[in-house]
């Protein structure tokens, strides 16, 4: 009389997953802010090409909300010290303003 075969375990070979760092709150907020920047830029393109007024208004409503979310994320990150801005002198601001004003006058004469 034959003996029943012993049950064997069948499994896939172990996959080696590299150990990675976990995302923290700053990483999540940075990702969200970058996503909101991308989304708002995409809405700008949609607004520019919306031929139907009601569609334009619907997109604009969503665009405005996305801009508000983007600003809220920026403020939160800035207040936590996670978004740094580089200060410039008033002279540099004035110089840049003059540069672009001259450019605009050349490109768009009255």
pLDDT per residue over 13-28, tens digit each?
777 767 778 899 999 9
Closest CA to 46 of 64, 62, 59: 59
pLDDT of the residue at 10: 72
Determine the structural domain holding residue 61 and report its residue range. 25-107
Residue 64 lies in a domain: yes
Residue 1 lies in a domain: no
Per-residue CA distances from 8 to 5, 13, 24, 88 (Å): 9, 15, 43, 71
Confidence of residue 2 (pLDDT cuts 50, 70, 90): low
Phi/psi of residue 80, nearest 5 degrees: -85, -5
> pLDDT (tens digit, 9 = 90+) per residue, 79-108?
999 988 888 899 999 999 999 888 878 888
Say if residues 29 and 82 touch (Cβ distance below 8 Å).
yes
Residue 11 lies in a domain: no
Distance of CA 44 to the CA centre of its chain: 14
Residue 51 lies in a domain: yes
Q: How many domains does the chain have?
A: 1
> How many Cβ atoms from other residues are within 10 Å of residue 29's Cβ?
17
Mean confidence (pLDDT) of the chain: 89
Kindly state the DSSP code that residue 24 receives in the 8-state scheme: -
């Amino acid at each position: 009389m034959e003996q029943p075969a012993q049950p064997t375990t069948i499994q896939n070979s172990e996959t080696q997953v590299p150990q990675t760092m976990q995302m923290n709150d700053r990483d999540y907020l940075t990702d969200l802010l970058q996503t909101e920047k991308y989304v708002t830029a995409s809405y700008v393109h949609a607004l520019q090409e919306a031929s139907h007024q009601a569609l334009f208004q619907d997109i604009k409503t969503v665009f405005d909300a996305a801009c508000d979310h983007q600003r809220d994320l920026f403020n939160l990150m800035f207040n936590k010290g996670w978004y740094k801005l580089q200060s410039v002198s008033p002279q540099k601001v004035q110089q840049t303003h003059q540069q672009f004003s001259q450019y605009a006058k050349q490109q768009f004469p009255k």
